[in-house]
Chain A
């Protein structure tokens, strides 16, 4: 059971300093683990603390080992695999561009209408959408749009957390 490859999302709270991200990414590559998506941004008011969210397709055993090794890194406060926890929620944002005539644009708008979408820009021959959802939902939309032809896709990758009052870490303990 721990040997099947599945999607794992690991969140890491880390000091916002140069080299910290490189060290964390190296842990994955050293194990031959491909990083499907990654994002990082400061999350504290003083900007000294950053949160990195890594999505990787790997076995649970490898993901657990990586989490352990991440906590050994000096700059890291806490590392946790999130998908196995109850109350897990994830979101991703994609900016998608479709270039074409009015008919093509209308078809595209019809497809994305079912999802949480916002038109960011529309011109005579192009439209840019912003789509928010789980990464599976975004995959679904892109697949449907690709029939028309995608002319530009930029995704943030998964950001994730928990419902209710569950926290990743009490960093002031």
Chain B
């Protein structure tokens, strides 16, 4: 005992906690188990780090994602070996595709047992190689502190992403010296310094294209969100001083204020008619922080065939990956925006909205088609109506909104308005059902005084509903709004349109009674089946001081429109019944 005191060595488990504190971590999400007991024991006897107990490691990972996306900080999860770690893989893959900074600590069997098919042993470093930015197996407690600091550095630098650290039980128990944050010295992972990366020539080339454009458009994505509030402000400034239209990807919603007149809606497979047509017909496309994902481009050979493209991305390998661009700028979004604004101003250029009047008029004509319109009903609740109402009644509170995956996700993206970044939490790249509830838990934990809403579907909700217990344990006043159509809606829609209505395995038989389910977890349950009652009930949900599970029973037959079917081009977009009636009328009138 005396020896330990004079040596001043602490256990690996304590090193982990100290390193977390030095990295600015105050909240972690996780689930204990045999191989990570030493860590959880050290956790018990300290009070700087708060641990949120999930009910499934996948949910812990998604909660950390919601936490990270809503704050800009690195999300942290701690899980045990074997099934604990493998359960987290979906969350890590989700973070990998959506560029969310996460650090995952997984317990592992003692170093002597590795490779012996030990109890709860899994080769998690092998399993997560392709779904993490980097991962480690710590074999010596002397390396532990450095690895943790490097992991945080990698997670948050450049294009953010998940990092996993596998720590065997004996390494958690062994002792070493550690006191403060260690400087990272890895030469291979070089992050370009902020103020020296971008060549002036490229900025000039970009502004040359922008200043002479007749049909320009801004196309911005998750890179703006990851860059921070500053990027959002700079983007707004650039759009205003140029007077150009702007569209966002699913991941980029909130990066530019949706209520601003320059915003022409989300683009992509379920984006607005005007946004997709503008992308197809433009002559200069300015991509900042988006990656030309296939949900956005449609058929690559027909994507925006006549435009020059400018691409700003922090990840060099994303540039010219699928779509060839004319001017490429590898940098953080804020940095590039600052330089573009400075160059534009240095040329004494003002807003070109007048000069591109013909283009704006064309966009307005496309907007008049009102591609997001739907047939209202006074008998059934239309899901579009439900989300529109939710937006109207919650807008002033600037809520955090998460979704699961499917039709409800698209309707939330179409009808909720985000004027600020970091409020919108959705699984874009991986499209993980079961993301919504844990993600909103993470966001509510990080922002306890804000309104937090999860828009979910009946199929998605079932995937991580055990997290209702977490909501009750921490008394989180989240509002879970289920658009219940007793279907796996999006899959059913594709089966209807493409597979001749053969609804294979998409009907949700034996759904639980959501109100009774909520009650069993100690949560207020509400149901609405009547459109007339909906405004009052939504208001009741939003004003209730505590968590609410809202079963909104909606029209089963409704499909998400507009839709660019897989393999089609932007101008082959399908409009809903009502919208396409309008187009036909227009053609006949001429």
Contacts and interface: CB of A to CB of B under 8 A. Distances in A.
Contacts of A77: 187-188
Contacts of A65: 321
A65 B322 CA distance: 9
Interface residues of B, number: 18
B133 interface: yes
Nearest to A69: B317
Nearest to B319: A68
B519 interface: no
Contacts of B186: 15, 74
Contacts of A69: 317
Interface string A147-160: 00000000000000
A69 B129 CA distance: 13
A6 interface: no
Interface string B302-315: 00000000000001
A74 B137 contact: no
Contact of B321 (A19, A68, A74): A68
A81 to B, nearest CB: 14
B154 interface: yes
A73 B135 CA distance: 11
Interface stretch (A22-30, A33-41, A89-97, A136-144): A22-30
A59 interface: no
A76 interface: yes
Given A68-B317, A69-B317, A23 B187 contact: no
B134 interface: yes
A74 B125 contact: no
B188 A75 contact: yes
B187 A72 contact: no
B317 A22 contact: no
B317 to A, nearest CB: 4
B130 interface: yes
B507 interface: no
B133 A171 contact: no
A23 B187 CA distance: 18
Nearest to A73: B134
Interface in B92-148: 125-126, 129-130, 133-137
B203 to A, nearest CB: 22
A71 B129 contact: no
B137 A19 contact: yes
Contacts of A23: 129-130
A19 B129 contact: yes
B189 interface: yes
B316 interface: yes
Given A14-B188, A30-B130, A74 B317 contact: no
B154 A74 contact: yes
B189 A74 contact: yes
A22 B126 contact: yes
Residue from the set A14, A19, A22, A76 with the largest chain B CB neighbour count within 10 Å? A19
Interface in B153-206: 154, 186-189
Q: Interface range on chain A: under 10, 10 to 19, 20 to 34, or 35 or more?
A: 10 to 19
Contacts of B189: 74-75
Contacts of B154: 74
Contacts of A171: 187
B188 A19 contact: no
A57 B154 CA distance: 33
- Among A15, A22, A30, A72, max chain B CB count under 10 A is at A72
A71 B188 CA distance: 10
Contact of A71 (B134, B135, B316): B316
A23 B315 CA distance: 19
A68 B133 CA distance: 15
Contacts of B126: 22
Contacts of B316: 68, 71
Contacts of B317: 68-69, 71-72
Nearest to B157: A74
A22 B321 CA distance: 23
A131 to B, nearest CB: 35
Nearest to A24: B129
Contacts of B129: 19, 22-23, 26
Contacts of A18: 137
B549 to A, nearest CB: 40
B341 to A, nearest CB: 29
B146 to A, nearest CB: 13
Interface in A52-88: 65, 68-69, 71-77
B187 A74 contact: no
Given A68-B317, A77-B188, A171-B187, A19 B125 contact: yes
A26 B134 contact: no
Given A26-B130, A72-B315, A19 B135 contact: yes
Interface in B522-560: none
Contacts of A74: 133-134, 154, 186, 188-189
A13 B188 CA distance: 9
A22 B132 CA distance: 13
Contacts of A26: 129-130
Contacts of B125: 19
A15 B154 CA distance: 15
Interface string A1-29: 00000000000001100110011001000
Interface in A94-152: none
A77 B315 CA distance: 15
A152 B291 CA distance: 50
Contacts of A22: 126, 129
A14 B129 CA distance: 16
A74 to B, nearest CB: 4
A15 B186 CA distance: 9
A106 to B, nearest CB: 49
A69 B315 CA distance: 10
A18 to B, nearest CB: 8
Interface string B398-417: 00000000000000000000
Contacts of B130: 23, 26, 30
A26 B321 CA distance: 19
B396 to A, nearest CB: 42
B239 to A, nearest CB: 30
Contacts of A72: 315, 317
Contacts of B133: 74
Contacts of B187: 77, 171
Given A68-B321, A77-B188, 15 more contacts: A14-B188, A15-B186, A19-B125, A19-B137, A22-B126, A22-B129, A26-B129, A26-B130, A65-B321, A68-B317, A69-B317, A71-B316, A71-B317, A72-B317, A73-B134
7 contacts: A15-B188, A19-B136, A22-B129, A68-B317, A73-B134, A75-B134, A77-B188
A-B pairs with the 8 shortest C-beta distances? A74-B134, A68-B317, A74-B189, A72-B317, A77-B188, A15-B188, A23-B129, A75-B188
Interface of B: 125-126, 129-130, 133-137, 154, 186-189, 315-317, 321
